[in-house]
Structure 1
Amino acid sequence: MASSPTDADDVFDQFLTNRGHSVEESGWEQEYNKKQCPDCGGLHDESATTCTVCGWDPRH
């Protein structure tokens, strides 16, 4: 019986965690009424979907 993708992801996440890597999904940070890019710190309107400063995209 094959393992589900979730089981494989959990095992891989644990492998990375044991070696000191962060496995949390990154997303926009909030700065007052603006979205802030977690990579470069660029501020954007609430409607932003990608960072216009560095190109960061939370979906990738």
Structure 2
Amino acid sequence: MATANDDIFDQFLTERGHATEAPSWEQDYNKKRCPDCGGLHEMSADACTVCGWQP
């Protein structure tokens, strides 16, 4: 659960160009794309087989 302090901190970071959302898979047509290396995987993938990234 987010608190008021979390919201203020997120706003501070966002104003300075930092991402405050948890990283997640990107979608490319019917594939998952790793946000770190750009590797394409099946929709059932739990981890990137190229760089090892996990959400």
Larger radius of gyration: 1
Cα deviations by residue, 1:8-48 (Å, 9 ceiling, x for unpaired): 21111011112221223321111221111011011111111
User: Any stretches of 5+ residues in structure 1 without a counterpart?
Assistant: none
Give the TM-score, by structure 1 length.
0.73
User: Any stretches of 5+ residues in structure 2 without a counterpart?
Assistant: none
Aligned-pair identity (%): 67
* Corresponding residue pairs, total: 55
Give the TM-score, by structure 2 length.
0.77
Supply the RMSD in Å over aligned alpha carbons: 1.7
In the TM superposition, structure 1's runs of 4+ consecutive aligned residues that sit over 6 Å from their partners are: none
